[in-house]
Amino acid sequence: MLIVKNIAECRREREKLGRVAFVPTMGALHAGHLSLMALARRHAPKVAVSIFVNPTQFGPKEDYTKYPRPVESDLEKCEQAGVDMVFMPPPEEMYAPGMAELVVDLPQLSSVLEGKHRPGHFRGVCQVVAKLFNIVTPNVAFFGQKDFQQLRILTAMVEALNLPIEVIPGPTVRDPDGLAMSSRNQYLSPTERERALAINRGLFLAAGEFKEGVRQANRLVTTVQHVLLEQHLSIDYVASVDPITLKHADQVNGPTVLAVAARVGNTRLIDNVVVG
Ligand code: PAF
């Protein structure tokens, strides 16, 4: 497995690879990332992964400096997953001093849900992914459905910029008890982790009500809210939205995303299910 640590080397090595499937990550790899890598394997003979904790997508009060960076074990996991190239650029090269600020924004999609609670977050995500796409020039790229708004925005960005890259979603991977895998789960104490299960429990309860015939989205949202409040989680939002426009959906007439962001102690978690 090739480990490349600067942009010029990445471009040189990428040239030799032919068709490339790309999994951008911020490291702290878990089974969710590994499932994206396995999916990537099925779409191209060569798989590239980037590990880069992107400073521009963190708000001033967020966890950029304490975000986990277990580099050695991440590289081992990539090796075991059969990754061909890992790109780990230094932040000073991605954002060289004096480099003009670049704004890539899709305001209709980035100002709601996560974007409302984390102003500037998706600008940072689009900025770094546009740069990574330019450097790695993959044929196909993979993003997890847990971050469904990110997936939607990056798909729209590729379309709006006419990039010749296919974006493929990977299903949310869950622990056996149902908690969606996230690098931030490691911040949870055992009791907080127990309480965090209210998120997936609430979402699955609502999905069950949908199966039993409930079509009013606000009833499904209320169900989720109740379960979260029982565990005293602090709710940023529980929403029902159209998966393409991300606009509020009143009724479940077609695919509808029930999305949650909530805090357990100091840890902010997100999750979602699609109904309809
Ligand atoms: O989902 C992530 O890990 C990040 O937002 C991404 C897409 C790698 C951009 O930094």
Mean pLDDT, residues 115-143 taken together: 98
> By C-alpha distance, which of 55, 48, 51 is closest to 141?
48
Model confidence at 11, in pLDDT bands (50, 70, 90)?
very high
Look at residues 141, 170, 199 and tell me which one is the last residue of a structural domain: 170
Q: Whose Cα sits closest to atom 3 in ligand 1?
A: 25
The protein residue with its alpha carbon nearest to ligand 1, atom 2, reads: 25
Query: To which H or E segment does residue 217 belong?
Result: helix 217-230
Protein residue with its CA nearest to atom 8 in ligand 1: 25
Q: What is the pLDDT of residue 132?
A: 98
Binned at pLDDT 50, 70 and 90, residue 261 comes out as very high
CA separation for the pair 56, 124 (Å, rounded): 5
Is the C-beta atom of 132 inside 6 A of ligand 1? no
For ligand 1, pick from 57, 134, 155, 184 the residue to mutate: most ligand atoms within 8 Å of CB: 57
Res 160: pLDDT: 98
What residue numbers bound the domain in which 257 lies?
Answer: 183-271
Measured CA distances, 228 to 24, 141, 197, 231, 268 (Å): 31, 34, 9, 5, 13
Long-range pairs, 60-64, Cβ under 8 A, ≥24: 62/118, 63/184, 63/187
Place of tokens 């590289």: 75
Domain count, the chain: 2
Which of the four pLDDT bands, split at 50, 70 and 90, describes residue 16? very high
On whether both 20 and 144 belong to a single domain, the answer is yes
Q: Is 33 a residue of the active site?
A: yes
Average pLDDT over residues 7-13: 98
Mean pLDDT taken over the chain: 98
Q: Is residue 177 assigned to a domain? A: no
In a domain, 153, yes or no: yes
Q: Are 36 and 61 contained in the same domain? A: yes
Cite the beta strand spans of the chain per DSSP E: 2-4, 20-25, 46-51, 85-87, 140-144, 166-170, 234-241, 256-264, 267-275
CA 165 / ligand 1 centre spacing (Å):
17
Active site residue: 33, 43, 117, 248, which one? Answer: 33
Tell me whether residue 176 is in a domain: no
Q: Which residue has the tokens 């565990």?
A: 231
Domain edge (last residue) among 170, 197, 221: 170
145 in contact with ligand 1, CB cutoff 6 A? no
